[in-house]
Amino acid sequence: MSETTLTPTKKVLPLIPLRNVVLFPSVETSLFFGRKESSNSLLEAYDKYDRLVIITAQKTPSIEKPQLNDIYNVGVIAKIEHILQTDGSLHAIVKGLSRISIVNFIQSEPFILAEYQELPVISEPLVDVQRAAEAILSQLKKAFALGRQFDLPAMMQLSTGVSSSDLADQVSFAVNTKVLEKQQLLETLLVSKRLQHATELLVQEMKVADLERSIEEKTQEKFNSAMKRNILEERKHQIEQELKKMGKSAGGETDELEKKIKLAKMPKMIKKKILKEYNRMIEMGSMAPEASYIRTYLETIIELPWGKYDDSDLSLKKAESMLNHDHYGLKEVKERILEYLSVIKLKNQLKDHDTKTTNILCFIGPPGVGKTSLGKSVANALGRKFVRASLGGIRDEAEIRGHRRTYVGAMSGRIVNGIKDAKSMNPVFMLDEVDKIGSDYRGDPSAALLEALDPEQNNNFTDHYLDFPLDLSKVFFILTGNDMSTIPYALRDRLEIISFPGYTQDEKFHIAQKYLVEKELKSNGLKASQVIKFNDNTLRYLIDKYTREAGVRNLERVIAAIFRKSAKKIVSGNSKKVNINDRKLLQKFLGPQRFTSQLKGKKDEVGVSTGLAWTSVGGDILFIEVNVMPGRGQLILTGKLGSVMKESCQAALSFVRSQAQKWGIKQNFHKIDIHIHVPEGATPKDGPSAGGAITTALVSALTGKAIPHDIGMTGEITLRGNI
């Protein structure tokens, strides 16, 4: 049975009062039960009453333990489909079955057990029911069209077709209204009346939703109106900017920009052009895309050091002292700088600023001889700012002249940027690695340098980005490079070339003693008391046996390596003071000697002469060896000789053959082979200057007379025997 009866006339079931929910027949929903009595009723019904339970609504939700007078008398018998128990509460899925009237409470503890009566089903005309059902279905469709969301399971039931009574109950449960009105729907037994009342509530809900939508649209319209107002106010602000020509006050960043333009000491024609650009920016407004480009352009021009010049008022003695302090040797370069300083001083006394001065020097020499660092010393000696730009590897002409402002991301060239960074119109400007400029489809950067580095033209140097002439005539340009042959002729013609031949061993010794040792001692965290000072013999030994270069970079690395290894020795606790003059310790630190000097021969030999050779790291000697042997008149040349040196050997042999009788040479040249060899066969050798030594070695080999081993020879031989 689905109920338990105490007497034949009474029907009882566990009862659960709900606070804010009215359950209807045919409605399946999920409920939460937190009260202990409700949980007990649910479990009792599930276990002992065939999963049937009475569900009704409370009149006042705040009452914790309701009595019969606190609940609505009309409720629903529901079937418990599923129970889920969590900490201290129960969740259940229940389905309403039928309406009932609650008669009395049989008990209240530990759960409510109530007596009930089933309510009768009242018959009524089918036409009235169908008409009311069609009306509510029509309103449901409208609600769906307007975006009304209903419970998905309930809507699925409606779509599959249900009875009119179930339709009324489903809509009554789904409609958004008060508990009292839903309770009235539950207590309405006539289906047509229930359908009509549910339809009225649904229409009322739709009107409320429509009103909310209308309010939202009006709010959005008000928001759009505010946006429109903001845009108009911004336009008004721009109009005020234009009206400031008529005395109106506008203020802001643009005023500050205009003030800076007017205060800048630029030429009048340039200032007129810049103010025109400024007014164009004001007219187009700050929202225009081009406005930011013009602002960047104006700020770049303002940042140029208009009218700012460093005062070159140094005495010659002080300048000479500074140059000698920073660099050892380089007499020719220092002399040229002092000459330039003298000219500047005389011109300042005469107040003659129009005469151009050839002030573009080019330092050419091997790496590591101090070309770049000398530029800083020149700036110090002249009392000017120093700025450096490396040209190595650049291929775009715009790197020198800048980009035209029609391009996105346009910017000024390196020369203008250097002037801006120096904050002076007459800095010492060093253009490094000028011999390593490339060229491709983007132009030839070396050609763009011609105007900047020509004293007759650079007072009107035009950068594409600035688009007006800039005076560079007061800038002291210094160029550096390693190989003069790769500098284009037109550019080389504008430069005063000063060659750095490389340091002699004696100069390297003084540079190491005066600068490098102290520098590397500090760089490697050592104190002078922790190492025994380098003596002269040790420094010369390092220069001779471990380095072979024009500059001093490798020598600096060798000294750094010795100090690093000394630091390790001290830190590891093996020694408190390192004797770096100990040759065995040096060889342990640096390994075996890397280079050996070519020594003169120990005795006079037949067919061996001593030649003098030029290398990038200094002079050297080489030996010319000649052997004569029976053969067929061939000339054999070995020792990796270049084409010019091979021709020198041929010229020397032709001259010797022409003078054979005069010199008492009796060999038949058709029956002998002559082999000329220059030792160190892996080293390339070329040039005509060994001609004299080759001729001497040939004559010695053919006559059997030895050549003094302490005589060195250099010079080209001609077919007439002239050297």
Give the whole-angstrom CA distance, residue 715 versus residue 681: 22
The pLDDT value given to residue 430:
92
CATH of the domain at 641: 3.30.230.10
Q: How confident is the model at residue 152 (pLDDT cuts 50, 70, 90)?
A: very low
Is position 227 within any domain?
no
Is position 24 within any domain?
yes
The pLDDT value given to residue 3:
41
Is position 31 within any domain?
yes
Structure tokens at 361: 């020097």
User: Do 287 and 347 belong together in one domain?
Assistant: no
Distances (CA, A) of 24 to 5, 28, 139, 308, 696: 24, 9, 20, 93, 131
User: Do 281 and 326 belong together in one domain?
Assistant: no
The pLDDT value given to residue 354:
55
- Whether 384 shows a pLDDT value over 50: the answer reads yes
Domain boundary among 118, 138, 161: 118
Is position 260 within any domain?
yes
Residue that is written with structure tokens 């038949």 in the block: 668
Amino acid at 607: G
CB 430 within 8 A of CB 478: yes
User: Do 325 and 354 belong together in one domain?
Assistant: yes
Is position 453 within any domain?
yes
* Number of folded domains that form the chain: 6
User: Do 425 and 445 belong together in one domain?
Assistant: yes
User: Do 622 and 648 belong together in one domain?
Assistant: yes
Amino acid at 556: E
What are 218-276's pLDDT values in tens digits?
878 777 777 887 788 777 777 766 665 543 344 456 668 888 888 888 888 888 888 88
C-alpha count within 13 angstroms, C-beta hemisphere, residue 291: 12
Residues facing residue 94 across a β-bridge: 29, 80
- Give the sign of the dihedral formed by CA 164, CA 165, CA 166, CA 167: positive
Q: How confident is the model at residue 138 (pLDDT cuts 50, 70, 90)?
A: low
CB 553 within 8 A of CB 368: yes
CATH of the domain at 430: 3.40.50.300
The pLDDT value given to residue 652:
94
Which residues fall within 8 angstroms of residue 178, CB to CB, at 6 or more apart? none
- Whether 487 shows a pLDDT value over 80: the answer reads yes
Domain boundary among 303, 325, 341: 303
User: Do 473 and 358 belong together in one domain?
Assistant: yes
Structure tokens at 64: 């914790």
Is position 684 within any domain?
yes
Print the domain residue range for 37. 11-118
User: Do 342 and 440 belong together in one domain?
Assistant: yes
Distances (CA, A) of 499 to 323, 350, 485, 495, 496: 17, 32, 13, 12, 10
What are 501-520's pLDDT values in tens digits?
778 888 888 888 888 888 88
Is position 263 within any domain?
yes
Q: How confident is the model at residue 2 (pLDDT cuts 50, 70, 90)?
A: very low
Structure tokens at 368: 């590591």
CB 677 within 8 A of CB 609: no
Domain boundary among 435, 469, 499: 499
Distances (CA, A) of 156 to 35, 153, 214, 274: 32, 5, 30, 75
Element (H, E) at 181: helix 179-187
User: Do 342 and 488 belong together in one domain?
Assistant: yes
User: Do 282 and 322 belong together in one domain?
Assistant: no
For the packed helices 268-284 and 191-243, what is the interaxial angle rounded to 10 degrees?
Answer: 160
User: Do 371 and 518 belong together in one domain?
Assistant: no
The pLDDT value given to residue 244:
54
What are 320-354's pLDDT values in tens digits?
888 888 888 888 888 887 887 788 778 777 765 55
The pLDDT value given to residue 359:
65
What is the DSSP secondary structure assignment for residue 286, as one 8-state letter? T
Is position 73 within any domain?
yes
CB 375 within 8 A of CB 480: yes
CATH of the domain at 44: 2.30.130.40
CATH of the domain at 562: 1.10.8.60
Distances (CA, A) of 633 to 507, 628, 629, 673: 49, 10, 10, 5
Q: How confident is the model at residue 28 (pLDDT cuts 50, 70, 90)?
A: confident
Structure tokens at 595: 């280079």
Average pLDDT in the 113-121 region? 83
User: Do 35 and 84 belong together in one domain?
Assistant: yes
User: Do 415 and 329 belong together in one domain?
Assistant: yes
